[in-house]
């Protein structure tokens, strides 16, 4: 049932948000050129790797000049990038990942493989037992202000307590946090 809801809601969101998606793409292209999408390998359900899409919010060679994570006032983030990150518009292309079956609307954010070291073998297996999401418990509670330990615990907590009710609460909490506080 969750997968069917993901598909329907992602398709509706893509249609409803298409003017916003087009505007973001044009703003990125105007400021820093093509490509407007960034694709990064992430780890999903059962440890399977997939290419996660985001609007490009950083300079084109950002991966070669810095770490996989961003910091406050990261010089690699463009002017348009700051806005689309603060408003989470940069995450909207992940609706395509939801349609492809790589992601869900709600679940732990997909990690890059380099983050595997943060987990014990059992915790990694637990984390990979659910499809990753566009938003998750860690984002709803902390946005980008969590410590690694807080994020890890929130992700594992989601895998233990997942339910439709928790997903609905996470969606509500996420919408309330979109005011920009804590976004890199």
Q: Per-residue confidence at 183, pLDDT binned at 50, 70, 90?
A: very low
3-state DSSP helix/strand/coil percent for the chain, to nearest 5? 55, 10, 30
Q: Per-residue confidence at 179, pLDDT binned at 50, 70, 90?
A: low
The model's pTM is 0.88
Range 108-116 average pLDDT: 92
**Farthest-apart Cα atoms in the chain, separation:** 46
Range 53-74 average pLDDT: 80
Residue 27 falls in which region: left (phi positive, over 0), alpha (psi -120 to 50) or beta: alpha
Range 144-150 average pLDDT: 85
pLDDT in tens, 2-54: 999 999 999 999 999 999 999 999 999 999 999 999 999 999 999 999 999 99
């Amino acid at each position: 049932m969750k997968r069917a809801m993901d598909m329907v809601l992602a398709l509706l969101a893509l249609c409803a948000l298409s003017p916003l998606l087009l505007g973001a793409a044009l703003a990125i292209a105007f400021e820093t050129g093509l490509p407007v999408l960034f694709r990064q390998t992430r780890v999903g359900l059962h440890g399977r790797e997939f290419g996660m899409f985001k609007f490009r919010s950083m300079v084109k060679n950002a991966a070669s000049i810095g770490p996989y994570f961003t910091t406050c006032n990261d010089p690699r983030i463009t002017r348009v990038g700051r806005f689309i990150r603060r408003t989470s518009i940069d995450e909207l292309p992940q609706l395509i990942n939801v349609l492809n079956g790589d992601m869900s609307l709600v679940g732990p954010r997909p990690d890059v493989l380099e983050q595997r070291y943060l987990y014990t073998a059992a915790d990694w297996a637990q984390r990979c037992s659910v499809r990753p999401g566009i938003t998750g418990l860690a984002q709803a509670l902390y946005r980008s202000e969590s410590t690694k330990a807080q994020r890890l615990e929130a992700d594992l907590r989601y895998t233990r307590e997942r339910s439709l009710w928790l997903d609905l609460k996470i969606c509500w909490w996420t919408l309330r946090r979109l005011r920009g506080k804590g976004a890199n």
